[in-house]
Structure 1
Amino acid sequence: MAHAHAEGSSTTLPPLVGGPHRKRLGLVALIATFGGLLFGYDTGVINGALRPMAEELGLNAFTEGVATSSLIFAAAIGAMFCGRLSDGWGRRKTIILLAVLFFAGTLFVVFTPNLPVLVIGRIILGLAVGGASTVVPVFLAELAPYEIRGSLAGRNELMIVTGQLAAFVVNAIIGNTLGHLDGVWRIMFAICALPAIALFFGMLRMPESPRWLIEKGDRAGALAVLKSVRSEDRALAELAELEKVADEEKQESQLGWRAILGNRNLTRILLVGIGLGVAQQLTGINSIMYFGQTVLIESGFDESAALIANIAPGVIAVVGGVIALAMMDRLDRRKTFAIGLTLTTSCHLLIGVASTVLEVGNPLRPWVILFLVVAFVGSMQTFLNIAVWVYLSEIFPLHMRGVGMGISVFMLWVVNGVLSLYFLSLVEAIGITGTFFLFAAVGALALLFVLTQVPETRGRTLEALEEDVTTGAIYTVSKSAARRR
């Protein structure tokens, strides 16, 4: 019954039409995703800045790992804290706070005299990165019409990889033209102050999430926001749905850990979110994004050539992101995940085989491994990265969306941090061959998890999903849909 009602609620809404409100929605998405751009730049810039930074500050292998992973572990805390903060304080205000943190962290890093101050700056940036990874996708999902929710919320991930590509390009240009200067790495980091300023001033003029406003009892505010990004009849119809769900939730009063763990269906969907986030990271994608230059040097490139070659994965990540957005609202989420994990696992196996067959010193070795790394990043970005972030932003009921997203992304960042701390040691211990065979084994397990545990969400309103998640009907619906296909 829940499913029948959910589908009805999706199809009885007036259709989307063009007009100024569509442009306004696009502008809101553009400004908010500057948070994703900063996320990408701040995580990617370390790729090329690490070596000159280590030389100037006298870092060893362990302290290099500390400087890199401090941002990642702080991002785990930021994801958890900002998810809860946005539930109480609002999505818009939280994103404005994140802009301030991005700017402050940049200042600490750029003007650091030593490792402790550097780590403080990286921690501040990490809090902002983690917060952006949680709040921006939720903000976009709650503003988007269900018909284009995937492509709109997915723009944030496209901006993340655009930020990483920008970092790789800036690193290559500055490293090869100004590499003779002391403190060249400080210039690399300073660039990210500009989008932080744009995010701060841009969000001052952006609206709040209408779903959050309804939850807080501001009906007039929610209607005003909906009318600015929808046609009037569509805005009124969506408002009625939002009010109905909000009334039901007030009666349930389910908030926080105790309420979630007390409901078997909410616990299950939280475990799905955590599992999907962890599976995404265990592909090793961010090991490539953070240490791509090191992997390419291990493959046989010299340092300067590796810095330039490292741009290739960044380029394919953006291309893959564009393709992913184009198909996000056409291809089921589960099918997308399954294709992605199949391709990435195959790339891991091929990288392991290539590094075994092509011995060190073989002139083909670096180019073959570079090609396979690019294929891996392209597969990951096209079928997994954007889809996972969109899925996490839409699967949780409104009253636990902030905390559910926060916990899932917290675990995602913890796994990311562990990999970033130990990846170089892993490569040193078992080589590229063993490392990528290990990633392949984990990828096979992740594929099994997706096929057996992850329910479908595409093409349905957040309110319809909420009802089926809360009652557990979403798992029955997904199995029935799978059999029909």
Structure 2
Amino acid sequence: MIKNIQGHDTKKTIRKIAVISTLGGLLFGYDTGVVNGALTYMKRPDQLNLSPTAEGLVTSSLLLGAAFGAMFGGRLSDKYGRKSVIKALAVVFFISTLGCSFSPTSNVIISFRFILGLAVGGASVIVPTFLAEIAPAKLRGSIVTQNEMMIVTGQLLAYVFNAILGNVFGDTAGIWRYMIAIASIPAVFLWFGMFMLPETPRWLAANGKVAKALEVLKQIREEAEAEAELEEIQKNIDEEKNLDKATFRELSTPWIRRLVLIGCVIGIIVQFSGINVMMYYGTTILEKSGLGTRAALVANIGNGITSCIGVLVFIKLLSDRFGRKRLFLIGLSGTTIAMIAMTIVTSTISKSYLLPVLVMCCTITYLAFYQSCLGPLAWLLESEIFPLRLRGLGMGIAVFVLWISNFLVGLLFPIMLARFGLSGSFISFAIFSILGFIFMWRFCPETRGKSLEEIEQSFREYKKPEKEML
């Protein structure tokens, strides 16, 4: 047991910090997942009477808000502190969640879902940053990836509560309001919990509060380790001050433009491969395949469980053992095959008890490949391909494109489903995934085991043959 100068177990302290702060990730997951079951009830004529377009807007307005929340959240946390902004996000989560649950019309819930998305997007950027700056280097990987685990756990909890409420109180008018309102509870815990946590040492040191930064480090490190880390933080801050900030004008440089383009396409691929069709519309898909609403809500829990297991498999077994590019291509192959199988099943089998069973098997196969490869790897690759000087510019553009792609999938799927049916919708995602596979096989760099400088040099030499460069 490693203790700090006050005699406290440092690992236990860090775990407490991780659990409280990742309630933001839990809210992220719950708020994106709850619509999966709630839509079935809110679109009824005696409730919000949603058209396919309105259904898509209710789902995707959160994602559009998340794109802007992600864009501005990081800047706000740089100015006001990670801790302060996370506390503010907890308030936004709470108010907008209640606003959604009490919404009298589709326009009102769309507006509140957009505001809720600002908090989701902010949390997607700031919580991992908070964890990375708190955790010691040897624990950083496992601590930061806890946020991803909390996101899928939040989605699983949404599916579980949807199933319980739908099966026990499914005939109650406005049951979807209770499904949504549950998210206000962890928002309260997040707000109160953040008062117990320190600001990150790096932000404190960067803002001239060196003594306070050392005080925080001594709470979560041994004394000698704390002093050494503070010196390293100050050295890195001084080095960053000497770096020229990358601007949009630098996109005219071919290797930088190519690098940012690859980062954007990674975000597009992981969204247009169809993941959030499963996460947002899983209950609708199962209903269309022949299951009743209550059975679909229960069956959808399997999607959440598969997602959690998939992320654990990546963290424990795959992340540091195989190349990023190989794992990405394996994951994309698996999800594409699952989509093609879904297309064949839904186009050749109808009005059979086998159809929902086969659809569920295809969905679980899809999620197993996605969550154990594509999902975690997308964020990992985005964080690795951008050198330090370009990270703010590159990540900002790439994450914004990722969220906009998420928004478009959430908006368009109900319209596609109404016009083309299940098979027509699924084959569209399969075709896009095949194109994504070709792009990633041709252009994705292998970053495992390479320094940021080596990755940057490979992009500077982009005119060399691809085999040599990658």
Residue among 2, 8, 12 paired with 1:23? 12
Aligned to 2:36: 47
Deviation, 1:218, is 3.6
Aligned to 2:360: 370
Aligned to 1:215: 206
Summarize deviations over 1:274-333 as a string: whole Å, max 9, x none. Answer: 222222111111111111111112222222221221111111111112222213344443
Aligned to 1:344: 335
Q: CA-atom RMSD, angstroms?
A: 3.0
Q: Does 1:361 align with 2:346?
A: no
Deviation, 1:266, is 5.4
Aligned to 2:185: 194
Deviation, 1:267, is 4.8
Q: Does 1:34 align with 2:19?
A: no
CA distance in 1, matches of 2:183, 2:165: 14
Aligned to 1:133: 124
Residue among 182, 185, 190 paired with 2:176? 185
Q: Does 1:114 align with 2:99?
A: no
Aligned to 1:406: 396
Is contact 1:137–1:393 with CA below 8 Å preserved after alignment? no
CA distance in 2, matches of 1:399, 1:256: 10
Deviation, 1:401, is 4.7
Aligned to 2:196: 205
- Cα pair distance change 1:373/1:22, threshold 3 Å: same
Aligned to 1:13: none
Q: After superposition, where does 1:161-176 map in structure 2 within 5 Å?
A: 161-176=152-167
Residue among 63, 70, 82 paired with 1:79? 70
Aligned to 2:457: 472
Q: After superposition, where does 1:53-452 map in structure 2 within 5 Å?
A: 53-55=42-44, 56-254=47-245, 256-258=247-249, 261=251, 267-327=257-317, 328-357=319-348, 359-393=349-383, 396=386, 401=391, 404-452=394-442
Deviation, 1:253, is 3.5
Q: What amino acid is aligned across from residue 457 of structure 2 in structure 1? A: G
- Cα pair distance change 1:286/1:265, threshold 3 Å: same
CA distance in 2, matches of 1:220, 1:394: 32
CA distance in 2, matches of 1:210, 1:264: 37
CA distance in 2, matches of 1:147, 1:205: 24
Q: What amino acid is aligned across from residue 31 of structure 1 in structure 2? A: I
Deviation, 1:422, is 0.9
Deviation, 1:177, is 0.9
TM-score w.r.t. the length of structure 2 is 0.88
Match of 1:130, SS state, is helix
Deviation, 1:41, is 0.7
* Structure number with higher relative contact order (C-alpha < 8 Å, ≥ 6 residues apart): 1
TM-score w.r.t. the length of structure 1 is 0.85
Deviation, 1:29, is 1.5
Is contact 1:277–1:388 with CA below 8 Å preserved after alignment? yes
Summarize deviations over 1:42-73 as a string: whole Å, max 9, x none. Answer: 11111111122122123222222222221111
**How many residues are treated as equivalent by the alignment?**
460
Summarize deviations over 1:170-216 as a string: whole Å, max 9, x none. Answer: 11110111122222111111100111011111122223333333433
* 5+ long unaligned stretches in structure 1: 1-16
Aligned to 2:6: none
Summarize deviations over 1:142-189 as a string: whole Å, max 9, x none. Answer: 333444433222111111111111111111110111122222111111
Is contact 2:341–2:362 with CA below 8 Å preserved after alignment? yes
Q: What amino acid is aligned across from residue 206 of structure 2 in structure 1? A: E
Match of 2:285, SS state, is helix
Q: What amino acid is aligned across from residue 128 of structure 2 in structure 1? A: P
Q: What amino acid is aligned across from residue 27 of structure 1 in structure 2? A: K
* 5+ long unaligned stretches in structure 2: 4-8
CA distance in 2, matches of 1:154, 1:25: 14
Summarize deviations over 1:93-113 as a string: whole Å, max 9, x none. Answer: 221111111001012112222
Is contact 1:83–1:403 with CA below 8 Å preserved after alignment? no
Summarize deviations over 1:343-380 as a string: whole Å, max 9, x none. Answer: 212212222232334x2123222111111101111211
Q: State which drifts further: 130-139 or 412-421.
A: 130-139
Is contact 2:156–2:305 with CA below 8 Å preserved after alignment? yes
Match of 2:43, SS state, is helix
Summarize deviations over 1:462-484 as a string: whole Å, max 9, x none. Answer: xx64x556x536888xx9xx99x
Deviation, 1:75, is 1.1
Identity, % of aligned pairs?
44
- Cα pair distance change 1:182/1:363, threshold 3 Å: closer
Q: State which drifts further: 134-143 or 161-170.
A: 134-143
